Amino acid sequence: MNIYVSNLAFSIQDEELKNLFTPFGIVSSAKVINDKVTGRSRGLGFVEMEDDNAAGEAIQQLEKSILDGRA
């Protein structure tokens, strides 16, 4: 399952995003999207998980969490 993650702190990197979802299951990939011109994070990303049930649990548990001061 491919999960859209928004409202990320601009300091979050790919590895940190992956580590956030790893406790729920195997993360195939995690990518923070950067602006093409500035190279700065756009505050969003995508996480791909192998197991749809684990992905659903991660979404449910992390939906209202706060990371680096952003919900």
Q: pLDDT (tens digit, 9 = 90+) per residue, 5-54?
A: 999 999 999 999 999 999 999 999 999 999 999 999 999 999 999 999 99
3-state SS assignment for residue 2: strand
Instruction: Supply the pLDDT for residue 17.
Output: 95
Say if residue 53 is exposed, middle or buried (CB neighbours under 10 Å; 0-12, 13-18, 19+).
exposed
Confidence band of 71 (pLDDT split at 50, 70, 90): confident
What pTM was estimated for this model as a whole? 0.89
